């Protein structure tokens, strides 16, 4: 009588402990690279940030000439996919390419950004949702134009 009950409780406690530790580690791992709260410490370039990357300012993202005026392009910052648009000549905006719906990588289309997973569309100049299911705009990344380079701000 006592044995099955003891085994069950022990198994549950063990399983619960592993689960909690695992979840805690995942939470820490998820918070550290994307942590907007600790902005700009030592460059934090480990790389696999799922949301808006935060590299050191001045990091080249793309060549200005690779982004058509009125069009879009894709690039990477510290290994993370980003989207670029040049709404008017010399003005460039940049967004995380991670879809705000369920995290797929959004693609640059001619005048907008399209998510291949469930069909969300985002306005190129603002990152705002044009068509759901996403309801939140893409995360904006500050960039500036320096000569023919688009660099992080
Ligand atoms: S993950 Fe992009 S629309 Fe669902």
Q: What is the mean pLDDT of residues 134-142?
A: 97
- Smallest CA-to-CA distance from 143 within 47, 35, 71, 63 is with 63
Q: What is the mean pLDDT of residues 64-70?
A: 97
Please say if the pLDDT value at position 149 is more than 50: yes
- Smallest CA-to-CA distance from 142 within 150, 128, 152 is with 152
Residue 87: which residues within 8 A CB-CB, separation 6 or more?
A: 70, 93, 124, 125
SS3 79: coil
Share of the chain above pLDDT 90, in %: 61
Q: Looking at residue 83, what is its pLDDT? A: 98
**pTM, to two decimals:** 0.67
Q: Looking at residue 111, what is its pLDDT? A: 93
- Mutation probe of ligand 1 site: the residue of 115, 131, 138 with most atoms within 8 A of C-beta: 115
Please say if the pLDDT value at position 26 is more than 80: no
Please say if the pLDDT value at position 25 is more than 80: no
- Mutation probe of ligand 1 site: the residue of 97, 107, 117 with most atoms within 8 A of C-beta: 117
Strand ranges (E), the chain: 60-63, 72-77, 80-88, 91-96, 107-108, 112-114, 121-123, 129-131, 140-141, 143-146, 149-152
């Amino acid at each position: 009588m006592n044995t099955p009950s003891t085994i069950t409780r022990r198994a549950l406690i063990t399983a619960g402990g592993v689960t909690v530790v695992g979840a805690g580690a995942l939470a820490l791992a998820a918070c550290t690279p994307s942590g907007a709260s600790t902005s700009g410490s030592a460059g934090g370039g480990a790389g696999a940030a799922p949301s808006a990357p935060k590299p050191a300012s001045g990091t080249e993202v793309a060549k200005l000439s690779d982004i058509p005026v009125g069009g879009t392009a894709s690039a990477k910052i510290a290994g993370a996919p980003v989207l670029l648009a040049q709404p008017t000549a010399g003005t460039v905006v940049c967004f995380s390419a991670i879809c705000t719906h369920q995290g797929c990588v959004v693609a640059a289309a001619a005048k907008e950004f399209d998510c291949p997973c469930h069909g969300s569309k985002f306005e190129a100049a603002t990152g705002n949702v044009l068509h759901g299911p996403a309801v939140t705009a893409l995360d904006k990344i500050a960039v500036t134009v320096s000569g023919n380079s688009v660099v992080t701000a």
